[in-house]
């Protein structure tokens, strides 16, 4: 009898790995909460909403949206760092605010508090001027600034984020202009179109609504925009300056390996659909797949530029 009981226990134990494996393969078996660290209707929200139906088709479960806006995402990021890493709460994350907030001491999280899943969408920063009276090229803007030191004003859509960092770095390179920041595109775009500022660093999504009224001087990216092929990059013009808003997905640190793999592969399938890029283009966003590992490397590579910009901003604020 004891031998029979022992054999039965061994047989049951032999079945355990299979049972666990089958349970894991069921992920997700209930709705997934998507934490949005931004206000409803903003770029970070739109970037997720565009593929909401695709998520349900791919994963077999709907998304439930929870909004935690504030402090360039820091409130939502801080909450994400405290949540259970089971794959049933994931979130939208933006590059570079995740890093810049941390460098500024805003938020209660570390850069290793998260599993970065992917960054499939980007919104490049452009330097624009008003078409009729503004500079037609970057060199013309620079020449005007040098001929009139600290008389020109260049705007940035956000403070110490994707558009402000390029403005600071160009100034540090020796171009003498003033910088002013705005709380979003709705205030910044009328300022440059009305001649209240001389140029504006803005994401493509911000500029798209008035693109025909702008001279587009440069794009702060590693490559030219395929929809604006005549616009040179800042690097082509001799300035090692980049600026993008990257839209991605992340989760609390410690996802089970199979759950993380399922999410990464599922998102890649979604963004590989031929019709998905066309949904983003009218919003000024571009689909360019970046996996979680490359996403983290982008943050690490950008850190010196971000630290330099934060230091310069502090120096300027004392003057």
Please state, in angstroms and rounded to a whole number, the distance separating the CA atoms of residues 179 and 162. 14
The first and second tokens of residue 193, run together, are 């179109």
**Residue pLDDT tens, the chain, 319 long:** 444 444 444 444 444 444 334 444 689 999 999 999 998 888 889 999 999 999 999 999 999 999 999 988 999 999 999 999 999 999 999 999 999 999 999 999 999 999 999 999 999 999 999 999 999 999 999 999 999 999 999 999 988 888 999 999 999 999 999 999 998 788 899 999 999 999 999 999 888 889 999 999 999 998 999 889 999 999 999 999 988 899 999 999 999 999 999 999 999 999 999 999 999 998 889 999 999 999 999 999 999 988 988 998 888 877 6
Question: Which pLDDT does position 208 carry in this prediction?
Answer: 85
Shared domain check, 279 and 295: yes
Split into its structural domains, the chain has a count of 2
In a domain, 172, yes or no: yes
CATH number of the domain residue 15 falls in: 3.40.190.150
- The strand pairing partners of 151, in sequence order, are none
Question: Which pLDDT does position 77 carry in this prediction?
Answer: 97
Shared domain check, 67 and 98: yes
Question: Which pLDDT does position 318 carry in this prediction?
Answer: 74
Please state, in angstroms and rounded to a whole number, the distance separating the CA atoms of residues 12 and 25. 20
Structural domain ending residue among the three candidates 227, 243, 259: 243
Shared domain check, 94 and 116: yes
Which is it for the CA torsion 158, 160, 166, 168, positive or negative?
A: positive
Shared domain check, 129 and 237: yes
Structural domain ending residue among the three candidates 222, 243, 264: 243
Question: Which pLDDT does position 248 carry in this prediction?
Answer: 97
Give the count of beta carbons closer than 10 Å to the beta carbon of residue 252. Answer: 22
Shared domain check, 232 and 300: no
Shared domain check, 142 and 238: yes
Q: Do 297 and 118 contact (CB within 8 A), yes or no?
A: no
Shared domain check, 281 and 221: no
Shared domain check, 253 and 238: no
Please state, in angstroms and rounded to a whole number, the distance separating the CA atoms of residues 275 and 214. 29
In a domain, 312, yes or no: no
In a domain, 317, yes or no: no
Structural domain ending residue among the three candidates 243, 271, 295: 243
Shared domain check, 68 and 208: no
Question: Which pLDDT does position 3 carry in this prediction?
Answer: 46
Q: Longest Cα pair distance anywhere in the chain, in angstroms?
A: 99
Shared domain check, 155 and 211: yes
Start-to-end CA span in the chain (Å): 88
Shared domain check, 182 and 165: yes
β-pairing, 114-130 vs 286-287, is antiparallel
The first and second tokens of residue 55, run together, are 């998520």
Tell me the three-class secondary structure of the chain, residue by residue.
CHHHHHHHHHHHHHHHHHHHHHHHHCCCCCCEEEEECCCCCCHHHHHHHCCHHHHHHHHCCCEEEEECCCHHHHHHHHHHCCCCCCCCEEEEEEECHHHHHHHHCCCCCCCCCEEEEEEEEEEEEEEEEECCCCCCCHHHHHHHHHHCCCCCEEEECCCCCCCHHHHHHHHHCCCCCEEEECCCHHHHHHHHHCCCCCEEEEEHHHHHHHHHHEEEEEECCCCCCCCCCCCCECCCCCCCCCCEEEEEEEEECCCCHHHHHHHHHHHHHHHCCCCHHHHHHHHCCEECCCEHHHHHHHHHHHHHHHHHHHHHHHHHHCC
Residue whose C-alpha is closest to residue 255's, from 95, 122, 85: 85
> What residue numbers bound the domain in which 51 lies?
9-122+246-307
Shared domain check, 259 and 220: no
Please state, in angstroms and rounded to a whole number, the distance separating the CA atoms of residues 34 and 36. 6
Q: What is the dihedral of CA 74, 78, 84, 85, to 10 degrees?
A: 60
In a domain, 1, yes or no: no
Q: Do 181 and 316 contact (CB within 8 A), yes or no?
A: no
The first and second tokens of residue 254, run together, are 């410690």
pTM of the model: 0.83
Question: Which pLDDT does position 319 carry in this prediction?
Answer: 66
């Amino acid at each position: 009898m004891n031998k029979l009981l022992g054999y039965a226990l061994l047989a049951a134990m032999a079945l355990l790995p299979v049972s666990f494996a089958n349970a894991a393969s069921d992920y997700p078996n209930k709705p997934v909460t998507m934490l949005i660290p931004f206000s409803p209707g903003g770029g970070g929200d739109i970037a997720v909403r565009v593929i909401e139906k695709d998520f349900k088709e791919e994963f077999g479960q709907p998304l439930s949206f929870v909004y935690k806006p504030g402090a360039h995402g820091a409130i939502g990021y801080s909450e994400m760092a405290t949540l259970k890493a089971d794959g049933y709460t994931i979130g939208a994350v933006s590059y570079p605010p995740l890093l810049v907030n941390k460098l500024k001491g805003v938020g209660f999280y570390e850069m290793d508090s998260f599993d970065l899943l992917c960054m499939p969408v980007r919104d490049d920063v452009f330097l624009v001027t008003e078409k009729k009276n503004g500079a037609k090229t970057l060199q013309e803007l620079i020449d005007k600034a040098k001929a009139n030191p600290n008389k020109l004003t260049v705007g940035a859509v956000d403070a110490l984020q994707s558009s402000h960092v390029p403005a600071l770095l160009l100034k540090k390179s020796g171009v003498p202009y003033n910088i002013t920041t705005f709380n979003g595109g709705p205030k910044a775009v009328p300022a440059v179109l009305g001649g209240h500022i001389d140029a504006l660093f803005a994401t493509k999504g911000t500029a798209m609504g008035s693109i025909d009224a702008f001279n587009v001087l440069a794009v702060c990216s590693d490559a030219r925009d395929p929809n604006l092929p005549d616009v040179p990059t800042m690097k082509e013009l001799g300035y090692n300056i980049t600026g993008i808003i990257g839209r991605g997905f992340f989760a609390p640190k410690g996802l089970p390996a199979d759950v993380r793999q399922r999410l990464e592969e599922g998102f890649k399938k979604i963004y590989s659909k031929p019709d998905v890029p066309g949904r983003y283009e009218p919003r000024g966003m571009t689909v360019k797949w970046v996996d979680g590992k490359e996403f983290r490397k982008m943050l690490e590579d950008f850190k010196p530029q971000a630290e330099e910009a934060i230091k310069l901003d502090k120096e300027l604020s004392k003057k």
